Amino acid sequence: MMGLGYIGLPTAALIASRGLKVTGVDIRQSVVDTINKGEIHIVEPDLDGLVHKVVKDELLQAAIKPNSSDVYLIAVPTPFKGDYEPDLSYVTSAVKSIIPTLKKGALVILESTSPVGTTRKMEKLIFEQRPELKGNLYLAYCPERVLPGNILHELKHNDRAIGGIDDESTQKAIDFYKHFVVGTLHPTNAKTAEMVKLVENASRDNQIAFANELSIICDKANINVWDMIALANKHPRVNILNPGTGVGGHCIAVDPWFIVSEFPDESPLIKKSREANNYKTEWVIEKIKNNALTFKSDHKRDPIIACMGLAFKPNIDDLRESPALYVTETLENKNFTVLAVEPNLKDSDDRNLTDYKEAVNKADIIVYLVAHKEFINLKTNPNKSILDFCGVLKK
DSSP string, 151-197: HHHHHHHS-EEEEESSHHHHHHHHHHHTTT--S-EEEEEHHHHHHHH
- When asked if residue 204 is in the footprint of ligand SAJ (CB under 6 A), the reply is yes
**Does the active-site annotation cover 251?**
yes
What Cα–Cα distance (Å) separates residue 366 from each residue in 107, 276, 282, 308, 371? Answer: 54, 25, 18, 7, 13
- For residues 46 to 85, the per-residue mask of contacts with ligand SAJ, x marking binding by CB under 6 A and - elsewhere, is ----------------------------------------
Query: Using CB under 6 A, which of the segments 62-70, 81-89, 245-253, 356-364 binds ligand SAJ?
Result: 245-253
Neighbouring residues of 115: CB distance < 8 A, sequence distance ≥ 6: 86, 88, 194, 198, 258, 261, 262
Using DSSP's 3-state secondary structure scheme, residue 340 falls into strand
Considering the complex, what minimum distance in angstroms separates the CB of residue 370 from ligand SAJ? Answer: 7
| Residue 320 near ligand SAJ by CB under 6 A | no
Given candidates 251, 307, 331, 369, which one binds ligand SAJ under the rule CB under 6 A? 251
Residue whose beta carbon is closest to ligand SAJ = 251
Q: Are 98 and 72 in contact (CB under 8 A)?
A: yes
Among candidate residues 53, 121, 156, 251, the one labeled active-site is 251
For the question of residue 197 being annotated catalytic, the response is yes
Of 40 and 311, the one with the shorter C-beta distance to ligand SAJ is: 311
d(CA 378, CA 376): 5
Q: Which stretch binds ligand SAJ (CB under 6 A): 161-169, 244-252, 340-348, 376-384?
A: 244-252
Instruction: Answer whether 131's CB lies under 8 Å from 123's CB.
Output: no
In the complex, the smallest distance separating the C-beta of residue 247 from ligand SAJ, rounded to whole angstroms, is 4
- Kindly state whether residue 200 participates in binding ligand SAJ, applying the rule CB under 6 A: yes
313 binds ligand SAJ (CB under 6 A): yes
User: In whole angstroms, how close is the CB of 293 to ligand SAJ at the nearest point?
Assistant: 27
Is residue 241 involved in binding ligand SAJ (CB under 6 A)? yes
Q: Residue 258, interface with ligand SAJ (CB under 6 A)?
A: no
C-alpha to C-alpha distance for 58 and 9, rounded to whole angstroms: 15
Q: Which of 40, 98, 225, 247 contacts ligand SAJ by CB under 6 A? A: 247
Nearer to ligand SAJ (CB atom), residue 72 or residue 312: 312
Type of residue numbered 125? L
Phi/psi for 367 (5° steps) reads -115, 115
DSSP symbols for 198-231: HHHHHHHHHHHHHHHHHHHHHHHHT--HHHHHHH
Q: Which residues contact 196 (CB under 8 A, 6 or more apart)?
A: 143, 161, 188
Single residue of 140, 174, 208, 307 touching ligand SAJ by CB under 6 A: 208
**Residue 86 in the binding site for ligand SAJ (CB under 6 A):** no
- Applying the rule CB under 6 A, the residues between 136 and 175 that interact with ligand SAJ are 144-148
Tell me: does residue 242 bind ligand SAJ (CB under 6 A).
yes
Rounded-to-integer distance, Cα 144 and Cα 394, Å: 33
**113 vs 119 by CB, closer to ligand SAJ:** 113
Least CB distance to ligand SAJ at residue 297 (A) = 32
> Distance between CA atoms of 198 and 114, rounded to whole angstroms?
8
Catalytic residue among 197, 271, 280, 313: 197
Tally Cβ neighbours within 10 Å of residue 290.
Answer: 10
* Residue numbers at the binding site for ligand SAJ (CB under 6 A): 113, 144-148, 200-201, 204, 208, 241-242, 244, 247-249, 251-252, 312-313
Residues classed as catalytic:
197, 251
